[in-house]
A and B are shown apart, each in its own frame.
Chain A
Amino acid sequence: MTSTRIACFYVPMFPLAARLRSEPELLSEAVAVVEGNGNAAHVVAATRRARTKGIKPGLSLAQARSILPKLIARGRDTECERTAQEALIEVAESFSPRVEDAGEGVVYIDIAGMTRHYDSELDLAKAAMRAADEVGLPARVGIAASKLAARVAAELPKSPTVVDPGSESEFLAPLPLARLTPQLDAASMLARWGLSSIGELARLPEAEVAARLGEAGRELHYAARGIDPRPLIPRPLPPDFREGMELEWPLVALEPFLYIANSALERLSKRMELQGFACKRLELTMNLDPDGFAARAIELPAPTRDVKTMLTLLRLDLEKAPPGAPVTGFSLVAHPDRPRRAQLSLFGPAALSPEKLATTIARLVALLGEDRVGMALTVDGHLPERYGIGEFAPPPPPDRRLKPEKSRGLLAMRVFRPPMPVEVLMHGEQITAVKGEGDVCGSVRSASGPWRVESDWWTEAPAARDYWDVELDGGNVYRLYQSETKEWLVDARYD
Chain B
Amino acid sequence: MEPVEPGSALAQVRATLEASVAAKVRSGAELLRRAANNTERPELIPTTLEAFDALLGGGLERGKLVELVSRRATGRYSIAMSALASATSIGEAAALVDLGDGFDPRLAETNGVDLRRLLWVRPRSVKEAVMSAEMLVATGFQLVVIDLGLHPVKGRRAPDAAWVRLARSAETSRTAMLVSSPYPVTGTASEAVIKGSSGRPKWRRGLLMGLEMTLTLEKHRHRKAGTRSTLALEVLP
Interface residues of A (CB under 8 A from B): 348-353, 356-357, 359-361, 363-364, 367-368, 372-378, 384, 387-389, 392, 394-395, 397-398, 401-417, 438-439, 446, 448, 469, 471, 474-477, 492-495
Contact = CB atoms under 8 A, between A and B. Distances in A.
Contact of B140 (A350, A395, A403): A350
* Shortest Cβ-Cβ A-B pairs, 7 listed: A414-B102, A397-B91, A376-B105, A404-B86, A407-B48, A495-B77, A411-B233
Contact of A410 (B78, B122, B139, B151): B78
Contacts of B123: 368, 372
A407 B105 contact: no
Interface string B121-153: 111100010011001101111100000011110
A469 B149 CA distance: 20
A412 B122 contact: no
A352 B107 CA distance: 26
B25 interface: no
* Contact-residue bracket for chain B: 35 or more
Given A353-B140, A368-B124, A397 B208 contact: no
B90 A448 contact: no
Contact of A364 (B103, B117, B121, B150): B121
Looking at B74, B80, B93, B152, the one whose CB has the most chain A CB atoms below 10 A away is B93
B203 A376 contact: no
B194 interface: no
Contacts of A417: 101-102
Looking at A351, A373, A388, the one whose CB has the most chain B CB atoms below 10 A away is A373
Contact of A377 (B115, B128, B138): B115
Nearest to B52: A407
A439 B131 CA distance: 28
A278 to B, nearest CB: 16
Contacts of A406: 48
Contact of B112 (A388, A401, A405, A495): A405
A48 B82 CA distance: 67
B156 interface: no
Nearest to B147: A414
B46 interface: yes
Given A403-B90, A404-B89, A475-B72, A384 B104 contact: yes
Contact of A375 (B89, B118, B203): B118
B119 interface: yes
A208 to B, nearest CB: 73
B93 A448 contact: no
Interface in B86-120: 86-87, 89-93, 100-112, 115-120
B164 interface: no
A357 B119 CA distance: 11
Contacts of B105: 376-378, 387-388
A476 to B, nearest CB: 4
Contacts of B107: 410, 412-413
B223 interface: no
B139 A392 contact: no
Contacts of B115: 375-378
B232 interface: yes
Nearest to A477: B201
A493 B73 contact: yes
B208 A469 contact: yes
B210 interface: yes
Contacts of A377: 105, 115
6 contacts: A375-B116, A397-B91, A403-B90, A405-B112, A413-B102, A495-B77
B23 interface: no
A412 B77 contact: yes
A439 B151 contact: yes
Contact of B128 (A368, A392, A411, A446): A368
Nearest to A479: B208
Contact of B75 (A394, A403, A408, A495): A495
B235 interface: yes
Contact of A408 (B46, B76, B100, B112): B112
B236 interface: yes
A415 B122 contact: no
B95 to A, nearest CB: 9
Contact of B233 (A387, A410, A469): A410
Contact of A372 (B82, B116, B121): B121
